[in-house]
Structure 1
Amino acid sequence: MPEFASRAIGPTGRAPVTLTSSVIICAYTMERWDDIVRAVESVLAQTRPADEIILVADHNDALADRAAATFPGVRVLRNEETRGLSGARNTGVRAARGDVVVFLDDDAAAAPDWLGTMLLHYRDPAVQGVGGSATAVWSRGARPAWMPAEFDWVVGCTYVGQPTSPALVRNLVGCNMSFRREVFARIGGFSSDMGRVGKRPLGCEETELCIRLSQAQPDAKVLYDPAVNVSHRVSADRHRFRYFRSRCYHEGISKALVSRLVGAGSGLSAERSYVLRVLPLGFARALLQALMLRPAAAGRAFAIAFGLVATATGFMYGSLEQMWLAPHSETA
């Protein structure tokens, strides 16, 4: 969910030629095999080649074996931690040798200049993390007419409200992000208490990590550059309103956990701006279009209101759950 600019920044110039990179792709199911192939091939086709590519199979030996046989130039690892995206990412980080550790989702394909553009920003020694945009590729050919662009974060893509030029942000989007490898040595890896496990639509592990980074190193810069672009495929099941409802609700649960781990001030700072500024404008725009007899706009207005309520409900439930678990964990 949202991350907003604190201030815009200018270009950072050319990156040192000695800066090395490790690209990590985490995969969990053979159902995405074609996507995985596209993701790996897009990294192999970079104008600035990655120094190493690591594919982590999340407790799926068949997937690991097939990947090892198919991609001879790729380091294929098995998740050494608990099942889930956080554990798989941590496994990749431990094995990475590059100065910059880059994460690409298994259903995303990077633009040819993706890595080179990303690494340019690390010329500034204060930059500790760099991420970019994700263009939705709707598997059914077109986005659902009811789907508001303000909620494209639901499908892991760039949404209305994000910066349109390079800017400092609170957190990065998980499908397209990078950090200096030393960050993980300093603050630890992704929290195993958070993140997606299989198809369960939880998240926010990258949000928690970025906030933890800013708390440990207040002068650290986390940068979003929309020119650092990937195409992110939206599978058919994510076109349905049922997924939208579930993803919003589970985002609220995830935000409640983030707030417990890093504090409500940091955990909800960007969301306040999003709820008070972006969503009202989007709702008003959709409602106006609906009054002009555009039926799909009425669906978007409803989805904005519903998505906000579903996320808030998830947050309230998650907060109550955390309050109930806290005293029990202390006495355990």
Structure 2
Amino acid sequence: MSTEQNSISHTPDRSRAKRVSAVVATRNRPSDIRHLLSAIAAYDSGIVHEVLLVDDASDTPLHTGDTEYPFPVRMLRNATRCGAAASRNLAAKEATGDVLAFLDDDARPLPDWFHILDTALTDQRAAITGRVLPFDSSVVARARQYRYEVRYAKHPAYSPVSFFAGGNSAVWTDHFLSAGGFPDVVTASDNGLVERLAESGGEVCFVPALRVAHRNSKGAGIAFREAWRAGRLAPRSTPAAALRRFADSARTQPWSDDPAAAGLNLSLQAANSLATALPAV
């Protein structure tokens, strides 16, 4: 691809229909992959050019079986675990579509997902991201969903945002490659892409109609590990600032509607705040 084609200022050719390369990073979830591929096939509006599955060193190598789909399914495999960001970047370099659509292996696009993508991703938007809805109902899932909804409520439809749902999003391929893809970090690589696109002059816009159903809960243990890890990787904070974030979180929780989810969210905030206040190692 030429330097001109890699430039963020390049205007994609809108004289033809989008060709979407759906990208899915996965590990040890063959059943989820089968359900996801079936959903993509059922809801494709005619724009899915290919699906790229990146097997992140699953214990048993992923195989899609003998099922035929109306689009090519391309398999890539990491010999050792590399993480979601590196896996998605690998797929992006191999993709032949002009749009990259990112889905999680444990997510299911809603029936209008590809139609919304097709209409909402315009020349003026480098990328779009949407809403994540739960298909599980545990306390951990409800607590996570509440945090999502608080974030969504702050943003009008089609407004620029600083977050990017790596499991529910789409970006022009040339913009993604020009920006250097996802930062290869342990956490917050999704939002790191927003910063990289902004440096190249591109915006991520919030499209609330772009919705997926997602398995929100991986268990309370994982939720606490993620909250602690995010805090340790964040910039250092004073104890007073960490306490203010904890107090702010306590005031905004759904105590009357869902006290169990509220209590869990506050506990997660406590872990995160403490992690940011401890000295760097």
State whether TM-score is above 0.5. yes
The Cα of 1:136 is off from its aligned counterpart by: 0.7
TM-score (norm 2): 0.79
Amino acid aligned to 1:212:
R
Query: Are 2:225 and 1:246 aligned?
Result: yes
Judge conservation of contact 1:81–1:87 (CA < 8 Å) in 2. no
The Cα of 1:19 is off from its aligned counterpart by: 2.0
1:315–1:147: structure 2 CA closer, same or farther, 3 Å change rule? same
The residue correspondences of 1:154-303 to structure 2 (distance < 5 A) are 158-162=148-152, 163=155, 165-192=157-184, 194-195=185-186, 203-217=187-201, 220-235=202-217, 237-238=218-219, 240=220, 242-256=221-235, 279=249, 281-283=251-253, 285-286=254-255, 289=256, 297=259, 299-303=260-264
Amino acid aligned to 1:315:
T
Gaps of 5+ in 1: 1-14, 196-202, 265-271, 322-332
Amino acid aligned to 2:215:
R
Output one character per residue of 1:192-222: Cα deviation in whole Å (capped at 9) or x when no partner.
2x13xxxxxxx211111111211232xx221
- Distance in 1 between the 2:16 and 2:247 partners? 42
- Distance in 1 between the 2:80 and 2:91 partners? 11
1:80–1:93: structure 2 CA closer, same or farther, 3 Å change rule? farther
1:119–1:280: structure 2 CA closer, same or farther, 3 Å change rule? farther
- Distance in 2 between the 1:179 and 1:82 partners? 25
- Distance in 2 between the 1:311 and 1:71 partners? 45
- Distance in 2 between the 1:165 and 1:280 partners? 28
Output one character per residue of 1:69-108: Cα deviation in whole Å (capped at 9) or x when no partner.
5566311112378621122111110111111101100000
The Cα of 1:181 is off from its aligned counterpart by: 0.6
Paired residues in the alignment total 258
1:148–1:45: structure 2 CA closer, same or farther, 3 Å change rule? closer
Query: Are 2:71 and 1:92 aligned?
Result: no
Output one character per residue of 1:10-47: Cα deviation in whole Å (capped at 9) or x when no partner.
xxxxx764222100111111xx2221111111111124
Amino acid aligned to 2:267:
F
Gaps of 5+ in 2: 1-13
The Cα of 1:62 is off from its aligned counterpart by: 3.5
- 1:234 alignment partner, SS class: coil
Query: Are 2:236 and 1:310 aligned?
Result: no
- 2:234 alignment partner, SS class: helix
- Distance in 2 between the 1:74 and 1:243 partners? 31
- In the other structure, the counterpart of 1:135 is 133
- In the other structure, the counterpart of 1:121 is 120
The Cα of 1:159 is off from its aligned counterpart by: 2.9
- 2:138 alignment partner, SS class: coil
- In the other structure, the counterpart of 2:20 is 21
The Cα of 1:110 is off from its aligned counterpart by: 0.7
The Cα of 1:223 is off from its aligned counterpart by: 1.0
